[in-house]
Amino acid sequence: MTLWIVVPTYNEAENLPRLLERLFALPLQMHVLIVDDNSPDGTGRVAENLRQVYPGRLEVLHRREKLGLGPAYRAGFRYVLERGATVIGQMDADLSHPPERLPALWERLREADVALGSRYVPGGGLDPNWSWWRKFLSWGGNLYARTLLGLPIRDVTGGYRLWKRTVLEHIPLDRVQSTGYVFQVEMIYLAHRLGFRIVEVPIFFRDRQWGTSKMSFAVQREAALAVLALRWRWRHLKKAPTSEPGLR
């Protein structure tokens, strides 16, 4: 089994060393790909320096400009698939996704095709320092998306996931149009429509401690409007054969 974790970055110079230290301390053999959108704070340079600290385990994909979360992940997924990844992970660089939950996600792939870190299943939770308004927007955004798309998943907007290779091979990445946070909704919607098995693993989502959040009300409003188009865009998508149980 070859595990790759794809981490998009934009102005995460403070968080990146902390994230990689925690990831590579885990009892899992993994490679990490940093996809940096030419961060003005020098995240790309920090990532290159860290390659010397973790030789053979860390790679960096530099992009010339900030093109959005979706394109960053698509580029990263293609990169690691070409290098033989059999399990592909995705997570934020700001440490809001606890790296220590990665083994639990890995273990659940024995019975599923996609394992996602969920804030909204028993055992999961949100940072208590979040305002009630921010919590409402997060909860409401999930309820809106999963109801509109008919998804039997509690946390459809979360970005902490492990995918079996076969899932990403069946998803037509070239046709996934979402550039912002709705990319997370579109990808899990496609996995569900294709018939792949999805499980949720509880995580505690902690607000970032270093750096600046990219989330705003405008971003969330844009995502809500984009979700409306997903059912129509993928109305002709046919179910794919699912993989056999167990890691392959």
Confidence of residue 248 (pLDDT cuts 50, 70, 90): very low
Quick: pLDDT tens for 171-230: 999 999 888 889 999 999 999 999 999 999 999 998 755 445 544 445 556 666 788 889
C-alpha span between 172 and 39 (Å, rounded): 28
Residue 150 has a pLDDT of: 94
C-alpha span between 92 and 6 (Å, rounded): 9
C-alpha span between 166 and 136 (Å, rounded): 35
For residue 168, the SS3 value is: helix
Quick: pLDDT tens for 1-15: 799 999 999 999 999
For residue 172, the SS3 value is: coil
Average pLDDT over all residues of the chain: 90
Residue 181 has a pLDDT of: 83
Residue 212 has a pLDDT of: 55
pTM for the full predicted model? 0.90
- The single residue listed with the structure tokens 């973790």 is 54
Per DSSP, which regions of the chain are E strands? 3-9, 31-36, 58-62, 87-90, 114-118, 125-126, 161-164, 198-202, 204-205
Q: Residue 221, exposed/middle/buried by CB under 10 A (0-12, 13-18, 19+)?
A: exposed
Residue 119 CA to chain centroid, in angstroms? 14
Average pLDDT over residues 17-21: 97
Q: Of the given ranges (133-147, 148-162, 198-212), which has the lowest mean pLDDT?
A: 198-212
Residue 194 has a pLDDT of: 96
- Strand bridging mode 58-62 / 125-126: unpaired
Quick: pLDDT tens for 73-104: 999 999 999 999 999 999 999 999 999 999 99
Q: Taking the domains of the chain in order of start, what are their residue ranges?
A: 3-233
Distances, alpha carbon 62 to alpha carbons 4, 83, 114, in Å: 17, 17, 27
Q: Of the given ranges (7-21, 56-70, 134-148, 217-231), which has the lowest mean pLDDT?
A: 217-231
Element (H, E) at 93: none
Q: Using an 8 Å Cβ cutoff, are 187 and 105 in contact?
A: no
Amino acid symbol at 120: Y
CATH of domain 3-233: 3.90.550.10
